Amino acid sequence: MKKNVRGKAKKTCKINVYRDTFCNEFNLAFHKPKKDQCSTCTIYYEKKQRGEITNEDEEQFQEHQTKKEKSREEKRLDKERAKTDRSFTAVTFDLEAVLPTPCSMVGDLFYKRCLSTYNLSFYSLGDSKGTCYLWDETNGGRGSSDIGSCILMHINSLAEKNSAVEEITYFSDTCGGQNRNQFVTSALLYALNFHPNLKAINHKFFERSHSEMEADSIHSSVERAKKSTKVYHPSQWDTVVSMARKRNPYIVIPVNYRDFYDLKGLKTDLNINLKKNSFGRNNQLAESQVDSGNERKSRKCIF
């Protein structure tokens, strides 16, 4: 580093001084992101380095960035509203990586075929409450019907606990097999019909690879708790998850195979004709909205 950014000559330190200061004086290190990188952003920056950016690439990247910012802004506004408006609830939800049974630091167990437990976590943005729906693979899978059934249970519980709630907004990633599909939307419409107090349920999606959800903080806590725990029976995960946060512990709801609905059948029974709304899939923030409209009879379901 002979010259500074403005091109003026400036005396610089040698690399060993940096190394000594960073490693010995402060014990600092550069953060390496562990999460999967966004393929759109990575390809764009690699092309930029090679000087191969076309106008179309630039346009697509800017659109990607706009969608990313818009979804964050939507969540920020909904979070603010949820803190003050009792009739409105905003929730983020996500499925954690599988929790294996048995689970311990013994190396041999790593190579055994383990029983998977799934944890679908809901984080309420207004009051920071975390609710986790847990089931093992003998009770259910992780497809659209399983996820949609848990959302349905969550809506039922919200409507029971707070009769003033009229509007619920869910935020999730765009995983088509789990979250963004017509079966989950059918479940939302069913819930809207079932609870007379509810006027609208919104399902908002983050831009692909840029989901920033508070629900992920639940998963980080569970992963931390997992390191110092031994699990030999799937039901022990209920305790591990509920104790993962000391202050304001997470509520754990064990889910049984009887609790899951056949949402594919529900969609057929409801005779829902889902079609793309005027926003389409290329909207800045794709949104699946279930709105009651002016009359309770005229339900509409826009996907």
Contact status: 40 vs Zn ion (CB under 5 A): yes
Kindly state the smallest distance separating residue 40's Cβ from Zn ion, in Å.
4
The residue among 21 and 39 lying less far from Zn ion, judged by its C-beta, is: 39
**Cα separation of 204 and 71, whole Å?**
8
How near is the Cβ of 208 to Zn ion at its closest, in Å?
7
Figure out which of the listed residues 41, 115, 200, 225 binds Zn ion, where binding follows CB under 5 A.
Answer: 41
Closest-by-Cβ residue to Zn ion is 38
Segment near Zn ion (CB under 5 A), from 32-40, 163-171, 180-188, 223-231?
32-40
Nearer to Zn ion, 41 or 302 (CB): 41
Nearer to Zn ion, 58 or 80 (CB): 58
Size of the site for Zn ion (CB under 5 A): 3
User: Closest CB to Zn ion among 40 and 185?
Assistant: 40
Q: Which two tokens stand for residue 128?
A: 């920071």
* Tokens 């402060």 sit on residue: 26
- Least distance in Å: CB of 73 to Zn ion? 16
Find out whether 152 and 185 touch, Cβ atoms under 8 Å: no
72 binds Zn ion (CB under 5 A): no
Q: How far is the CB of 69 from Zn ion (least distance, A)?
A: 11
Buried b (16+ CB within 10 A) or exposed e, 218-234: bbebbeebbeebebeeb
Compare residues 60 and 217 and give the one whose CB is closer to Zn ion.
Answer: 60
Q: 3-state secondary structure string, 137-206?
A: CCCCCCCHHHHHHHHHHHHHHHHHHCCCCCEEEEEECCCCCCCCCHHHHHHHHHHHHHCCCCCEEEEEEC
Chosen residue from 38, 114, 200, 251 binding Zn ion by CB under 5 A:
38
Q: What is the DSSP letter of 207?
A: P
Burial 129-163 (b: 16+ CB within 10 A, else e): ebbbbbbbeebbebebbbbbbbbbbbbeebbeeee
Q: How far is the CB of 222 from Zn ion (least distance, A)?
A: 26
Pair 238, 216: CB distance under 8 Å: no
Amino acid, single-letter form, for residue 225:
A
Q: Closer CB to Zn ion, residue 40 or residue 186?
A: 40
Q: What does the alpha-carbon distance between residue 159 and residue 272 come to, in Å, rounded to a whole number?
A: 23
CB of 60 to Zn ion, least distance (A): 11
Is residue 114 involved in binding Zn ion (CB under 5 A)? no
Segment interacting with Zn ion, rule: CB under 5 A, options 34-42, 51-59, 111-119, 180-188: 34-42
Return residues touching Zn ion (CB under 5 A). 38, 40-41
